[in-house]
Amino acid sequence: MRRANPAAFSMHTIAAGRPAARHHIAISRWAVTAFAVAAFVLVPIATIALIAIADTGTLWSHVLVHVLPQSAWNTLVLLTGTGIVAVAVGTGAAWLVSAYDFRGRGVVEWALLLPLAVPTYIMAYAYLDILSPLGPLQGAIRWVLGFDSPRDFRLPDIRSMWAAVLIFGSVLYPYVYLTARVMFVSQSANLLEAARTLGVGRAQLFWRVALPLARPAIAVGAALALMEVLNDVGAAQFLGIRTLTASVYTTWVVRADLAGAAQIAVSMLVFVMALVLLERLARRNQRYASSAQRPRPMPPQRLRGWREAIALGLGVLPVVVGFVGPATYLVISAAKRLDFAGLSPALLRATLNTVSVSALATLVVLLAGFAVAYAARLQPGRATGLAARVATLGYAVPGTVLAIGILIPVAAFDRSVDGFMRSSFGWSTGLLLLGSGGALVYAYAARFLAISVGGIESGLSRLPLSYDQAARTLGQGPGGTLVHVHLPLTRTALTAAGLLVFVDCMKELPATLLLRPLNFESLATLLYGEAVRGTYEDAAIAALLIVAIGILPVILLARTGRLSRD
Amino acid sequence: MIKIAKTFGLATLLALSAAVPALAEEVNIYTTREPGLIQPILDAFTTETGITVNTVFLENGLIERVQAEGESSPADILMTVDFGALIDLVNAGVTQPVESAVLEGAIPASLRDPAGNWFALSGRARVVYAAKDLDLSAITYEELSDEKWRGKLCIRSGQHPYNTAMIAAHMAKHGEADTRTWLEGLKANQARAAAGGDRDGARDIAAGICDIAVANSYYFGLMSSGKGGDEQKAWSDAVKVILPTFEGGGTLVNVSGAAVAAHAPNRDEAVQLLEYLASEAAQKLYAEANFEHPVNAAAEVHPIIAALGTLTPDSQPLTEVLPFRKRASELVDEISFDTFSN
């Protein structure tokens, strides 16, 4: 239930390239810290691998024959469909706002990012209601057509693969939009003009020049969007799609077979690794492509009359489906609830819990991410590079699986501390991490470290090493260089990473469900609990809060996007 | 640096969680049942005894968490829905036997473990919701697979414990081959994907998607009483409830229940809470607040539930159904019950 980090990737695309010189510093404190961080991330992943090796007797053959083919096929169809929708909408929208000018373009340009604020599970939950035969839309259609009852006329049920594809596609396209737009904007006008001189029309320009050039960027965006699909639990469950993630749940819970679940999880990692690989390959090309001098941007074509109206309509449509629709629904339901029962103390507590744990986790993630990225800068080499890659692995592991991988070592730690204190001092500490929310901080950190490492790495890579050398010549030690040069200059990258991590922590569901202490609800678990018992009392307000806070980084993204344009 | 931050953060969190009074008597519940619905009962217990009740809803992974926490686990009471899940607790070794004359007096022998490792606290019948205008007054579970219901049945995921229990009960009576055919019929009858919850059955009947739906009895009470809001009241108004039976048998009644955790730090309070939950007062609350069937004979079902007709629980004990649960769950996979293709 998290969102990947588009900012980090868009930053990569505008990064000026890595510092050229190598720089060796005797102290390796940073490197040691980086390894420690990597080890912390590796622990849960190793735990899952160990569980998967355990003997499951005859069960594996059942899973292999009856569960995996079906759910792998469903997952594949869902991924392909969502990929197509996200790429088509994302690329199309990006070309629309880059190649053409029309009234309202300035607003459409940033509004197209808004669906990023809506988690997939909230999207599915909202559309199940909006599009139900009892919902407002079908009611209006029946009224227009003169039917009294849904028994006489109704649209096909949305609990289906095609609806899942549309729902996922319409909230996940911004990943593609974001990366493709940066690419279109920075494509050299010279190239496009050369093509035009050779007699290529504007439409053909897209297909023959701009699109092929933007392909790596689109692949990056698509890979991010697809990771989101693999991570989703709630939406697929609401829509009745048996994905691999759903099979992990069933195997573990219904058949009480953790080892079998871990095995499915490990086979899932193959999917994820393939996506990660794809994204990396694409990014390699992209860096090459974007390391050229800042090009003169292509001047957009001014549209008028009906063409302008169509352009505006096409630009607004994804925003309406992916944001305005669900947001309006949530506002109306939340208002009804507030009217009926007011703001419940449980909701306030959940908000406080969510904000405090997310803020703490964000701090940890930023510090750890900075250590890893900084070590790679001070001592570039295979070891620190490896630490950085390992530190970002947690991002590729679905939250459900990571949660179990964290539960077991963390509980073992808690137990041994408690046992030691009891036997030595006759005093029980209880569960130090699981009982305090510390386990949540660990889970969030392991999961979202990739966002801060990626963002800070690209932030640091824009600072030439000559800055370091100048600072040292002027008498600053490594600490002084850090405080007076690097930190101030990476402030923007740190803020962007921090905001994205914060929002991701806030939305996180599966790990929070398993690892939270007694009497502790976050906004996401509150929403989930109510959905489970089917009361939806405070759920709409909780969902609205999640979406509202999720808009913050979207605004930031929109601003940095504009900056890169100026 | 990170360490300092972590320690500092931990201290903050510990301070936050210290809001729970440490010295007051308390009892901690780990539950796979969303605690919102039983909160009024827990609140009544706190009012009566002064013992604070802390809960955490662990839909998945309750056993793993208790096992991992071991002797340091704060869990006193483990609470689940579904009989199978209750027995899983015992098999995982995370419960402890309790001997209590109060519990033995309140709960019939068939609804508790002879060794005291688990106690059922409420019953819930697996019933059929039917469109109100449908000409149907009785149905058997076996008939749910009839061709006359092609494309007219709404049901949640076959892997949900409520359904696995029903399939297992069918298998215990008719054998695997018959159950496979029956389940294939049920799949062919699906009007939409086997997803969502039991209330969606009523909603989808109201929406004209299906004619009949398989659901638990108390959801009807929750909707029909208006407790779920006006919208849900309208759903329940569109349906009538039929108590299905197995051929030559009765209605499938599953249970929710609880056990005392193996390493319960507040064992006495835990037993006290269990005794309270089985008492007439609390059992009345189960019936009134949640429309479940009380296990204590002294308490009566809610009038809304009583109006559904006389419940004849199936005579086959749940312990005899249990061994078929795993096979039932596998059958669901084998015939791709949850993949909608009609």
* Domain annotation for chain B: domains and CATH numbers: 2-123+254-300 (3.40.190.10), 124-252+309-334 (3.40.190.10)
Lookup: tokens for B269? 């309070």
Residues 6+ apart with CB under 8 A from A103: A308, A312
Question: Which string of DSSP letters, residue by residue, matches A356-393?
Answer: HHHHHHHHHHHHHHHHHHHHHHHS-SHHHHHHHHHHTG
For the CA atoms of A146, A150, A155, A157, the dihedral, rounded to the nearest 10 degrees, stands at 170
> A297 pLDDT band (50/70/90 cuts)?
low
A428 or A327: which leads in pLDDT: A327
pLDDT score, position A282: 67
Dihedral sign, Cα of residue B94, residue B96, residue B101, residue B102: negative
Q: How far apart, in whole angstroms, are the C-alpha atoms of residue A35 and residue A491?
A: 24
Cβ contacts (< 8 Å) between A529 and chain B: which residues?
34, 36, 57
Would the pLDDT of A516 be above 80?
yes
User: What is the average pLDDT across B180-205?
Assistant: 94
Q: How far apart, in whole angstroms, are the C-alpha atoms of residue A170 and residue B187?
A: 31
* Contact indicator for A183, A213 with CB cutoff of 8 Å: yes
Q: How far apart, in whole angstroms, are the C-alpha atoms of residue A100 and residue A118?
A: 28
Q: Which of A154, A242, A516 sits opposite B207 (nearest CB)?
A: A154
Pairing relationship of beta strands B239-242 and B119-131 according to DSSP bridges: antiparallel
> A22 pLDDT band (50/70/90 cuts)?
very low
B130 phi and psi, to 5 degrees?
A: -130, 150
Q: How far apart, in whole angstroms, are the C-alpha atoms of residue A533 and residue B198?
A: 10
Pairing relationship of beta strands B212-216 and B119-131 according to DSSP bridges: antiparallel
Q: Do A418 and B37 touch (CB under 8 A)?
A: no
B139 phi and psi, to 5 degrees?
A: -155, 150
3-state secondary structure of B72: helix
pLDDT score, position A13: 35
Q: Do A66 and B330 touch (CB under 8 A)?
A: yes
pLDDT score, position B125: 96
Would the pLDDT of A188 be above 70?
no
> What rounded mean pLDDT belongs to chain A?
82
Q: Do A411 and B197 touch (CB under 8 A)?
A: no
> A236 pLDDT band (50/70/90 cuts)?
confident
Residues 6+ apart with CB under 8 A from A37: A368, A371, A372, A387, A391, A449, B2
* Contact indicator for A322, A170 with CB cutoff of 8 Å: yes
Would the pLDDT of A61 be above 70?
yes
ipTM: 0.79
A28 phi and psi, to 5 degrees?
A: -120, 25
User: What is the average pLDDT across B101-120?
Assistant: 95
Would the pLDDT of A308 be above 80?
yes
- Tell me the shortest Cα–Cα distance from B105 to chain A, in angstroms: 31
Chain A, 351 to 370: residues with Cβ < 8 Å from chain B are 356-357, 360, 363-364, 367-368
Q: Which of A157, A407, A437 sits opposite B17 (nearest CB)?
A: A437
Closest-approach residue (CA) in chain A for B13: A436
pLDDT score, position A196: 77
pLDDT score, position A536: 65
Cβ contacts (< 8 Å) between A133 and chain B: which residues?
207-209
Q: What distances in angstroms separate CA B272 from CA A155, B44, B50, B99, B102, one per listed residue?
A: 54, 13, 12, 12, 10
> A229 pLDDT band (50/70/90 cuts)?
confident
Pairing relationship of beta strands B253-261 and B77-81 according to DSSP bridges: antiparallel
* Contact indicator for A552, A503 with CB cutoff of 8 Å: yes
Pairing relationship of beta strands B95-96 and B153-154 according to DSSP bridges: unpaired
Q: How far apart, in whole angstroms, are the C-alpha atoms of residue B232 and residue B203?
A: 8
* Contact indicator for B192, B340 with CB cutoff of 8 Å: yes
DSSP state of A210: I
Q: Do B68 and A33 touch (CB under 8 A)?
A: no
B3 or A150: which leads in pLDDT: A150
Q: Do A159 and B56 touch (CB under 8 A)?
A: no
Closest-approach residue (CA) in chain A for B211: A151
Q: What distances in angstroms separate CA B123 from CA A416, B92, B157, one per listed residue?
A: 40, 23, 21
Closest CA to A381 of A11, A9, A35: A35
- Tell me the shortest Cα–Cα distance from B230 to chain A, in angstroms: 11
| pLDDT 10s digits, B246-295 | 999 999 999 999 999 999 999 999 999 999 999 999 999 999 988 999 99
